[in-house]
């Protein structure tokens, strides 16, 4: 039992919603504690696994800004970071919205991590697996039901 309530990703809203996370969030890479917080936020969007955003103050590893950016119609412009955990670098493993749209203003000062590019991510006592594919940064937990976007053939619906 995960302690997480069952959620259907198909019932998540569009436009997405931003909400606080009641569970402790932990991120580790190469045996190093990268981040730890009880003050995370998550974005819920139809057919997506939730994306978790941790306060920058909860990040204990070094982050190095990298070239490139992307644009989300809901959240705005994202920038990306390498995560430096001891002597190990997780390339382009984190992102942030420094100046998010008004609807997502709460994301300012927060960092998200790609579960597939770091060794461990936890929501409470539940270990996360990455959202399918290599585009989205959602965290999949066993309480999620419904078809999660990201696998081949799901990117444009």
Tens of pLDDT, residues 128-149: 999 988 778 999 999 999 999 8
CA separation for the pair 146, 6 (Å, rounded): 10
Between CA 89 and CA 98 the distance in angstroms is: 22
- What global pTM score does this model have? 0.95
Q: Report CA-CA distances (Å) from 57 to 7, 14, 24, 40, 109.
A: 29, 29, 15, 11, 8
End-to-end CA distance of the chain: 32
> pLDDT tens, 57-110?
999 999 999 999 999 999 999 999 999 999 999 999 999 999 999 999 999 999
Domains of the chain: 7-144 (2.170.150.40)
């Amino acid at each position: 039992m995960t302690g997480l309530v069952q959620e259907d990703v198909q019932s998540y809203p569009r436009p997405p919603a931003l909400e606080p996370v009641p569970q402790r969030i932990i991120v580790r890479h190469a045996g190093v504690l990268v981040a730890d917080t009880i003050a995370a936020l998550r974005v819920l969007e139809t057919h997506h696994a939730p994306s978790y955003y941790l306060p920058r103050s909860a990040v204990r590893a070094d982050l190095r800004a990298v070239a490139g950016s992307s644009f989300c119609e809901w959240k705005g412009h994202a920038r990306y970071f390498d995560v430096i955990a001891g002597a190990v670098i997780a390339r382009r493993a984190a992102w942030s919205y420094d100046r998010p749209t008004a609807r997502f203003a709460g994301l300012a000062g927060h960092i998200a991590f790609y579960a597939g590019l770091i060794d461990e991510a936890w929501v409470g006592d539940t270990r996360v697996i990455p959202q399918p594919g290599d585009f989205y940064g959602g965290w999949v937990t066993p309480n999620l039901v419904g078809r999660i976007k990201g696998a081949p053939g799901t990117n444009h619906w």
